[in-house]
Amino acid sequence: MNNCRIGVIGTGIMGAPIASNLLAAGYTLTVYTRTKSKADKLLKHGASWATSPAQVAAEVDVILSVVSDSPDVEAVYLGPDGVCSQLKQDTLCIDMSTIDPETAKRVGQQVRSQGGAFLDAPVSGGKNGAEAGTLSIMVGGEAADVARAKPIFDVIGKSVVHCGPVGYGQLTKLCNQILCGLNLLAVSEAMVFASKAGLDVHVMLEAVSKGAAGSWAVDNLGTRMANRDFAPMFMIDLQQKDLRHALDTARSLTLPLPGASLVHQLLAANQSAGEGCEGTQALVKTIERLAGICKE
């Protein structure tokens, strides 16, 4: 058994498998999430329940938070029953949410002012990567704190890159989301082009996946599009939140992002059609509707 006591705050699509892998690795786990039923499986496998982020902070050595957006992270750490109200000296706080970089800096400053350490460590790899323990982890913070977190990161990810000080993990993740969004659009357009031209989309994917056009998006999102599988590996609503943070940051830098802006608008059409909780691969349905193709 590992002696380090870990608290996991947030046991949704990403947090639950991350926590499960830590349990399997022998860590003692305390968990908190707003909807307790989402933690039932973890509790059955030996995790302890906390009634608030404050209680988590009082009981553990390391805190991992995996929640939806910047206001959620602020509430978890800075709220009346938040982590900082019961933060112990030298507690390592690792936020693995994808949030606005300025929020990461603000929360990190408060944690450090109270004697703790803070890393912003957003991840890429989706639900499948979280379940397999193969996430890519982009970390901002002090090198000594990254080294302290490395044994934990090695359980849940296959790639750990120290990107710079606090906030740089989030900035790097926004680069990741810009790339993911444009890859998503490329696959969607190729799928609709193939369908309109009369190709078998499965055959097309097999042909292109082995050449220069091959990518994670082709293999994972393209296959799901072809199979009309729109269950979320990563929800449209969350991708929209991430692109909003990227576009807001770009505006603060006086930087145009025409491609990311287009993807953001197209995914808004999915949201308007009631598809925000579907996987990002459902973008293909917006492109199909623009092309006059109706498959539903």
Active site residues: 173
Q: Where are the beta strands (DSSP E) in 54-194?
A: 62-65, 92-95, 117-120, 123-124, 135-140, 157-164
Nearest to 67 by CA among 79, 56, 76: 76
**Cβ–Cβ under 8 Å, residues 119 and 95:** yes
- DSSP state for residue 280 in the 8-state scheme: G
d(CA 161, CA 177): 16
d(CA 99, CA 246): 10
Residues sharing a CB contact under 8 Å with residue 170, sequence separation 6 or more, in sequence order: 98, 99, 100, 101, 104, 120, 122, 140, 245
Residues sharing a CB contact under 8 Å with residue 122, sequence separation 6 or more, in sequence order: 96, 97, 98, 99, 137, 138, 169, 170, 172, 173
Q: Retrieve residue 276's tokens.
A: 């925000």
Looking from the CA of 260 toward its CB, the CA atoms found within 13 Å total 23
Q: Retrieve residue 257's tokens.
A: 């992002």
d(CA 107, CA 113): 10
